[in-house]
Amino acid sequence: MLRYTLKRILTGILALFVLACVTFLLVRLMPGSPFQTGSVSEQVVEAVEREYGLDRPLGEQFLTYMGNLLRGDLGISYEDPGVKVTEIIGRTWGITASLGVPALIVAILAGTAFGIARAVSKNRCVREVISAVGMILAGIPGFAAAILLLLVFSVQLKWFPASGLLSPAHYVLPVISLAIYPAAVIMRLTGNALETEMEKDYVLFDRAKGLGRKQIIFTHALKNAWRPVLNYIGPASAYLLTGSFVVESIFTIPGIGREFVNSITNRDYTLIMGLTIFMGAVVIAVNLITDLLGAWLDPAVRRSYQEEAG
């Protein structure tokens, strides 16, 4: 267990390093300079580039950037001189998280609930309808869901506000549009896993020893069927982060996603780089935590750890 933890953390750090290298190289390869906006003269561009250290050799730039990265400094925005990238992240991160975390929770709860219903409902109709709806929802891209929700519930019915994040009601539509796809995936995962579990011998034995259906599902089968859902939380958080790009721009929410989209349009290289590394790091961290949690929740792994310690 201890070795496994260390190994996973090392992999995480290595992934982070690769991410930083790849991002740095790709951003340097991007055509065009952020300062060539046409109206400024060559000299000014050169002067600014010198100020940002863009005239020095690539290797040196890389080392400087990595050095700064280790100190937690992601540089200064090109577009908005004087504003540090870390400041922008600090300002916008909380907003995105306040959408992403509820969306993740909604997705897990709804997905698991419907997944259980799909797998064990005695009514064939219920099973078919749930799986059909799930399949349709899994086929709607996040931006399409966001636009449709906006058109129906805020433009036509005027139930929820269309933009900003001022009151709890403002959260409803963005959170739902973010949660739809992961919920559909989680439903499929839970449903499949639970169906497989319900076929197993121990369920038959539980029935033979007189346990009720609910008790079998909730205290026995689910205990073995949660694993795929836990493993999906990492990819789901990645989906939510990238999903925030469109959802935040559709609902005009000043989060990290909209900042990223803007930075792309503005070719604000340090900001692109900083945000990419930051978001990558978040996903790597979530993956790491869920992996370790999964290992720890597995009785066989936990036992071997206890034996190691005792």
Partner 1 sequence: MRVLDIQKLSVQYHTEQGECRALEELDLHVEEGEITGLVGESGSGKSTAMLAVMGLLKENASMQSEGITVCGEPVVPGVNIAMIFQNPQSCLNPSVKIGRQITETVRAKRHCGRREARERALELLDMTGIGNAKVRMRQYPFELSGGMLQRVVIAIALACEPRVIIADEPTTALDAAVQAQILRLLRRIVEETGTALLLVSHDLGVTASLCRRVYVMRRGRIVESGSVEDIFYDPGEEYTKQLLDSVKKKRKLSEGTKEESLLRVENLTKEFDTRDGIRDVTLELHEGEIFALAGESGSGKTTLARILTGILKEDRGTVFYRDELLERNGRGGGRIQMVFQDPYGSLNPCLTAGQALDEALRAAGSPEEKADREKRRERIRNMMERVGLTEEDMDKYPSEFSGGQRQRIGIARALIVRPEILICDEALSSLDAVTQQQILDLLLDIQKEQQIACLFISHDMHVICRISSRMGVMYGGRLVETGRTREVCSDPWHPYTKLLLDAALEADPLRARRIPGISAGKQSTGGRGVQEKGCPFAGECGYAMKCCTEQEPEVYRFGERAVSCFLYSEEHSGRRSRDYIMTSQI
Partner 2 sequence: MTVQKRRRRKDLRGYFRKDRRAAAGCILLGIWILLAVLVPLLSPWSYSEQNAAIQNSLPSPAHWFGTDKFGRDLFARVWYGAGLSLLVGLVSAALNGCIGVLYGAVSGYAGKKADLILMRIADVVSAIPSMLYVILITLVLGAGATSIILGLCVAGWIDMARIVRGEILRLKGTDFACAAKIEGIPSIRILTRHLLPNAAGPITVNFIFLIPQAIFTEAFLSFLGIGIAAPAASLGTIIQEARSQMMVYPYQMVFPLLVLCVMMLALNLIGTSLEQRNRR
- Provide the binding-site residues for partner 1, judged by CB under 8 A: 200-202, 204-212, 215, 219-220, 223-224, 298-300, 303
Nearest-angstrom CA–CA distance, 90 and 87: 5
Q: Which does 202 bind (CB under 5 to 8 A by kind): partner 1, partner 2, none?
A: partner 1
Minimal distance, residue 226 CB to partner 1, in Å: 10
* The one among 106, 129, 133, 140 contacting partner 2 by CB under 8 A: 140
If one asks whether residue 18 binds partner 2 (CB under 8 A), the answer comes out as yes
Closer of 196 and 306 to partner 2 (Cβ): 196
Are 78 and 271 within 8 A, CB to CB? yes
If one asks whether residue 9 binds partner 2 (CB under 8 A), the answer comes out as no
Residue type, 122: K
Burial class (CB in 10 A: 0-12, 13-18, 19+), 74: buried
8-state DSSP, 121: -
Minimal distance, residue 203 CB to partner 1, in Å: 8
List of residues 6+ apart from 143 with CB closer than 8 A: 246, 247, 250
Minimal distance, residue 211 CB to partner 1, in Å: 6
Are 2 and 308 within 8 A, CB to CB? yes
Nearest-angstrom CA–CA distance, 176 and 228: 22
Q: Which does 272 bind (CB under 5 to 8 A by kind): partner 2, partner 1, none?
A: partner 2
Each residue 98-137 as x (binds partner 2 by CB under 8 A) or -, in order, gives ---------------------------------x---xx-
Which three-class secondary structure state does DSSP give residue 76? strand
Q: Which does 9 bind (CB under 5 to 8 A by kind): partner 1, partner 2, none?
A: none
Nearest-angstrom CA–CA distance, 274 and 140: 30
If one asks whether residue 245 binds partner 2 (CB under 8 A), the answer comes out as yes
The gap from C-alpha 57 to its chain's centroid, in whole angstroms, comes to: 35
* The one among 15, 172, 198, 230 contacting partner 2 by CB under 8 A: 15
Are 190 and 111 within 8 A, CB to CB? yes
Phi then psi for residue 71, to 5 deg, are -85, 5
* The one among 97, 172, 211, 261 contacting partner 2 by CB under 8 A: 261
By CB under 8 A, name the binding residues for partner 2. 11-12, 14-15, 18-19, 22-23, 26-27, 29-31, 131, 135-136, 138-144, 147-148, 151, 155, 188, 192, 195-196, 238, 241-242, 245-246, 261, 264-265, 272, 276, 279-280, 283-284, 287
